[in-house]
Structures are given as C-alpha cells and as structure tokens.
Chain A
C-alpha cells in the first residue's frame, strides 16, 4: 500500500441557498490516478477547489502528507505540491507559451530572465511526459489541446506532485483526449498523483486506479477502477438505473423528408468548408453524422437551418428548395433545430424560461392573437413543457441563465421537439449535459423518430451516434467520407472514416 497523500474528511461547503458539498470525503494515494465523478452540480469541482484553497470550507479537515489543516490558501496548496488545471484555462493569450509557463516564477540570471534555463526545464517535461508544446508561439495561436498541455507544464513547473484536472477532456477531440491519457499515464509512472474530474464514464474507466462517485454534494462510493463497470457507475451517479447505449429502435420508414444535394458552404476554417456534401433522410429514421469536431459539421447544420450562406447545391425540405432562405421560412417548411451552442443560439439567457420556450410559437395562435401576446396562454404552454420535459427548477419565470447546463438544454429540446416538425436537426444535443439529462434527451430523439420525424443527429460522441442512428454518415474535412448502416458500423470502421481513411480504401 502506498503512502496516503491527501485525506479530506467531513468537508462542508455552502453557497447561498445551496449545500454544495456535505460531509465530503476524499483520499489520494501516492502514484495513483483517482477519478472524481458525478453529474453537474454534484460538488466535484467545489470539493477540489477546497483542496486547492480557493474555497474555505465551513467544516471538515484536510490532511496533506500527514499534516492536518482546517483550510488551505492557494499559496499553501502550491507550497504543498498541489497543482490544479482548471476547466477554463488561465493563460494570457497575448503572451508566448514560454512566458505563460514561467510567469511569476521566472528563473533569473543577474537581473534578467534566464530563457535557456526555462527552455531546458520545459523540454525536460516535454520529453519525460510527452507534453509537446511550442514554447515560442503565442497562446492565442495554439490549439485547445496544446493549451491544456501548457497548463499542465505550468503546474509541474511550480513543483506540483499532485495534479487536479477539472474536466480536462470536455474541450478535447477524441484524439486529443487519447493523447492526454498517455500523458497522464506517463506522469503516474513518473510518480505523480492525479485527481481526474469528469462525468464521462468510458474515460474514467480507461485510466483510473480508483473512482470516487459524488451525488448531490455527498460522497457516495469509492471503488477500484478494475472492479467496476459503466452501468454501475452510472447508477451510483444518478441514484437509479440508467439506460444509455443500447441500439437503435426500429420504426417504420417513410418518404425522404430532407435531402442535401452537393452543397458547398464557406467555413470558419479551411478544413471546415463544405465541399460537396450530399445525403438524404427519410421520415422515421435517424441519420447520425459522426466526425471529429471542426470537419464541417457546424457549417452543415447552419447551412441547413439558413444561418449560413450556401454557395452551390440544393437543400430540399418538404419538397421545396430552401437553401439560403431566411431561417423563419425554413422553419415554416418543417425544420426544427437544436443548435450546438445553446448559450448563444439556443437560448436568450437574459430572458425567462417561458419566453425561451415560446420563442418559435409566440407569434401564432393560441399564444397570441392579432399580434398581442396572451401571457396567460404562454405561461400555460411553458408550464406544460416544463412538466413533460422535467425541467428543473420548475419555474416559468426563472431567467434562463440560472439553469444548469442539462436543464438549459432541455429547454431547447422541449421547444424544438414539441413543434413536431417533419425534420429535426440535432447538433451535439448532449454536449456538456449531465447523465440524467442525456437520457431524457436521447429518449426524446427516439420518440420524435417513432412519431415519424426525420432526424439528423450531428454528434462527436461516437457512442451516442452508434446507439441512436439507423444510418451513419462520417464527415472529414468538409466531405462525407462514407455512409454505413448501423448494423455494420463499429467504432473501428467509423474511426477510419473519421480520419479520412475511407476515401482511399
């Protein structure tokens, strides 16, 4: 048994109106990867911020390397060798990678910064743990994955023996996540101890020695990574049986409801331009569109919804050509759209829930007559949706910015799905959403399909694609590299298509 580095006991932390952590329990052994999992709001981040000294707990004790403290300050925590990589990177975008790493801890020679010493040290970390970075690039020029590596080097540079990573994979592509896991494993081998916060079960199972589950601010269980399974973890996290995964539900297929014919669309980046994309979806089927983020999926969704110019090609919806129509007309032709960015597109965060729920139907009877909104009806309408989609807290007058990610997404889903449009375009519908809401949202997509809607599901989560889609198309660099029936699809095959391999086979 290796040495216990951290022992947190009886931690309580309250925010106005909420008990974020109650009787929190956590321990970390030397040289292990210990995952901390739970739904959004389970108190994972809060507990770790107590450890890092960002919050002062009301009760409890923190023992680090045998010394017991009632609370820590960030300075103490760093002094004890604790480093934290936050969800949002704390880097200065205008400065270079090297400057960011040494900021505040510059090696000096005479009165000047010793660049060579700094570089050597960074190279040492890069070689030992596979943390490849470009020291002379500015942070604004590097990818998210590299920025994360910079953050990790920064904490190591400050002498961290214990690394806390707060949902590090939330911002990464699958490949980048895989790279990160290699790094974490080699760091573990190098004797570092790692706390890994996540709510993605597969990842947690892949790398953890031990797993602690939290729910509603409380410690639920700590299990060994080798002796548990995804269903068990899901049950511990949610507190009941959860049915994720599974395979596509059969439903009667009808006519083609949406067809995209050879469209060309300008993109945010060179790789995400659409270069001749074609596909069609029938009523009663889900077409999954898989691919690594940034290969044109966002552009495809926006082009279909009328939010981005189509340069060439046709989009046929309900028998009419709708490319480059204003979004309102496209909706009238039978499109519902769950956008990938709920905070900008999907919701007006400064409006209340009822205004958000009613946004697409407020100008039609019965919610308004002769241009005058009937607020009584709007409230009824909203309360109906809040009930049937289990949006919590259940209040029509709550500002949308006050909802958690999962519930905010349920507002979007409720508004779009309840319209019962012929075509439902769902873009990353469960990204950044807790597991209970994922289940609700996936069920809604299946229900829409059974009710006869043609569903286009764009997702970078392969497991989601595989468990919902009847057919799967894979996008790579603005093209569709292949289309497979779900019965023949597996992760390997899709993975090959996702890296463009399919085109050369």
Chain B
C-alpha cells in the first residue's frame, strides 16, 4: 500500500537507462547514438509521435483496468481476454449496425464492448467473492477461453470471408477520427485520457469509489461499517473488465478497422506491468504507460539507424521493473522499521 513518488520514479527511469547504456556499450555500440536514435524514433516527426500514442492508448487503458481490479484486491490477469472480447464486440457493433450517425454509432460500439467484457470480468469477481476461488488461476484460464472464442467467431459467424481470419470492416460512422497522420493515432487517445480522469475522480471523490477502495484495503472493516464487500468486489471487476473492453474497442475502431484474429501481442500484459510498476497508483499509470510506449516505439528507430537490436529495449524494461520492485522493497523495509520503532514509541 505504499505510495509512489515522482522523484523516485524519475530516478528509477534514469538508473535503468544508465544500466541499458552499459549493456549497449558491452555489445560494442555507442550508447549516446543509440539513445539519440531511440528518442528520435519516438518524438521526432508526426509519424513517430503518433506511433507512441498508438501504443500508449491500449497500454494505459489495460494498465488502468488492472489497477482498478487491484483496488478491490483482485489480481486480474484476465485483462487480455477482456481486451479481445471488447474488440470483437465493438467490431460486430461496428459492421452490423448501418446508417447511424457517428455520435450514436461510436458510443454504441463502446457500450457493447464494455458490457461484454464487463460481464466477463464479473465472472472471476463473483467466483472470488462468493466461493473464494483464486482469481489468478481463473483469469489466466479465462484468457484462453476468450481468445479462442473470438477465434471461432472470426472464423465462422463474424467472418469477412477474406484470405485472413478477420471480421468485415466496420462502418465509417464507427471509425475514430485519425490524428497525427500518417500514423494510426486517433481520438481514442482523448477517450482514454477522459476515462482515466473519470475513474480517478470516481475512486477518490465519490461514495462508490470510497466503498471500492475500502473493500480492497480491508473487507472486514467494510462489512462492519455497512459496505457489502462481495457485491462491491464484483462491481470493481465489472469496471475493470469494461475498461479492458474499451481498450479493445479503440484498437478496432481507431487502428485496424476490423477485428483481426490474434491481433494483440499481449498488450494487456504490458499494461499489467505498467500498473504493477506504478504500484496501482492511478496517477502514475499514464506516466509509466507512456514510458513503456516510448521505449517500444523508439526501439524500432534505434534498430534501424544504429543496429542495436530492439530486443535490448525489453532488457531495459526488465531492468526497470526490477528496480521498481526493489524500490518497493526498500519502501517496505523502511515502513517496517518505522512501524516497529513507532510501536516502541507509541
């Protein structure tokens, strides 16, 4: 339950980049040149900036989905499945309804996606709340179910009968407006940021959020002061699922224009990492998601211009996670010593 601080996060970022520089040196490349190309590849030109945003949106939303479930003390590994279900639901609503105004069609697609994956998220939530079934096992397995189910749908009832397994292209009215052309970034970015602010506000400024947070922190206390912990836990999972579904919907409606079988290379797992590094602190989620998005996007440019393999970036991310985890460890031991000395004094 420790809080993150901006300063320590920045220090962790710098330190992991420094260790990465060491690794680049060992490989026989010039780290300054490599980082220069990395940041050029992420920040110079509309295409590159747009590329960062493209990656940022689903990362941030899936991270947020994970963080929300963590608030009700559920370790939700199932965001990937929710992403898939949301994506296919949005794709279906995108091509099946025709002749709608974009202002109706886009919210409709979002709604269908969020309902589908919200309901999906409720299943592990209810299993944990009422029968104490371990949510990690359930959500991992449910990912397979969700992904294979979308594979079936895209191959059969929802198939576009094209050479690759995908759904028909969605109506123009369900498309999210592109920004920063020629990249595929789109106004989904603003939707995502809006959702982030809204979720944060709900958690910290409404009664509903108050219940959610307390159920996660201490279900016994919550029950005693009159909050039904089981129901609230399920609602938290529904919200988490809905956010995951929204991420999938934005991928379909903003980037691909259809649902493509196996379209996600584990986006939600990167999102989970971002949230874990942020210690599930909603305010840090966008910062760390952006950081990961920048590294992943810039890595392409770095590889192209300097020859440093882009997989090195995964090493840097791994180092970063290690450092962030260690920071947590330090904070924890500080707390412990502070607490034990506090008890002496108390």
Contact = CB atoms under 8 A, between A and B. Distances in A.
A327 B226 contact: yes
B314 interface: no
A348 B212 CA distance: 13
B66 to A, nearest CB: 19
A313 interface: no
B346 A404 contact: yes
Contacts of A43: 344
A45 interface: yes
Contact of B224 (A16, A307, A404): A307
A259 to B, nearest CB: 22
Interface in A313-349: 326-328, 331, 337, 339, 344-349
A351 B216 CA distance: 11
B206 interface: yes
Interface string A436-467: 00000000000000000000000000000000
Interface size class of A (residues with CB under 8 A): 35 or more
Nearest to A44: B344
Contacts of B346: 40-41, 403-405
B206 A372 contact: yes
Most buried by B among A45, A349, A371, A402: A371
Interface stretch (B81-89, B241-249, B335-343): B335-343
A351 B214 CA distance: 8
Nearest to B208: A371
A373 B344 contact: no
Interface string A38-60: 00110101100100000000000
A45 B344 contact: yes
Contacts of B217: 348, 350-351
Contacts of A84: none
Nearest to A361: B225
Contact of B345 (A20, A339, A347): A20
Interface in A350-385: 350-351, 355, 359-360, 362-363, 368, 371-373, 375
A206 interface: no
B309 interface: no
Contact of A373 (B207, B220, B226, B342): B207
B221 A348 contact: yes
A345 B220 contact: yes
A339 B223 CA distance: 12
B210 A18 contact: no
A326 B224 contact: no
A360 B226 contact: yes
A474 interface: no
A345 B208 contact: no
A331 B223 CA distance: 12
Contact of A328 (B210, B227, B341): B227
A401 interface: yes
Contacts of A49: 344
Interface in B1-59: 1
Nearest to B220: A344
Contacts of B338: 16
Given A18-B345, A305-B224, A348-B217, A362 B1 contact: no
A348 B342 contact: no
B101 interface: no
Interface in B167-188: none
A249 to B, nearest CB: 29
B224 A345 contact: yes
A187 to B, nearest CB: 27
Contacts of B214: 348, 351, 355, 359
B126 to A, nearest CB: 18
B227 to A, nearest CB: 7
Interface string B127-157: 0000000000000000000000000000000
Contacts of B224: 305, 307, 327, 337, 339, 345-346
Interface in A203-231: none
A346 B206 contact: no
Given A15-B344, A46-B344, A362-B210, A372 B205 contact: yes
Contacts of B345: 15, 17-18, 20, 41, 46
A360 B344 CA distance: 31
A348 to B, nearest CB: 4
A359 B220 CA distance: 13
Contacts of A405: 346
A408 to B, nearest CB: 9
Contacts of A339: 224
B226 A331 contact: yes
B228 interface: yes
Nearest to A41: B346
B218 interface: yes
Given A326-B226, A339-B224, A344-B221, A402 B342 contact: yes
A20 B344 contact: yes
B221 A363 contact: no
A360 B225 contact: yes
27 contacts: A15-B341, A18-B342, A20-B341, A20-B345, A40-B346, A41-B345, A46-B344, A305-B224, A307-B223, A326-B226, A326-B228, A328-B227, A345-B224, A347-B221, A348-B217, A348-B221, A348-B222, A350-B1, A359-B221, A360-B226, A362-B207, A368-B207, A371-B206, A372-B205, A372-B207, A373-B210, A405-B346
- Which 8 pairs of residues, A with B, have the shortest CB-CB distance? A328-B226, A404-B346, A18-B345, A15-B341, A359-B225, A348-B218, A363-B207, A348-B221
Interface of B: 1, 205-208, 210, 213-214, 217-218, 220-228, 338-339, 341-342, 344-346
Given A17-B345, A347-B218, A351-B217, 14 more contacts: A20-B345, A41-B346, A327-B223, A344-B221, A345-B224, A348-B218, A348-B222, A350-B218, A360-B225, A362-B207, A372-B205, A375-B205, A401-B339, A404-B346
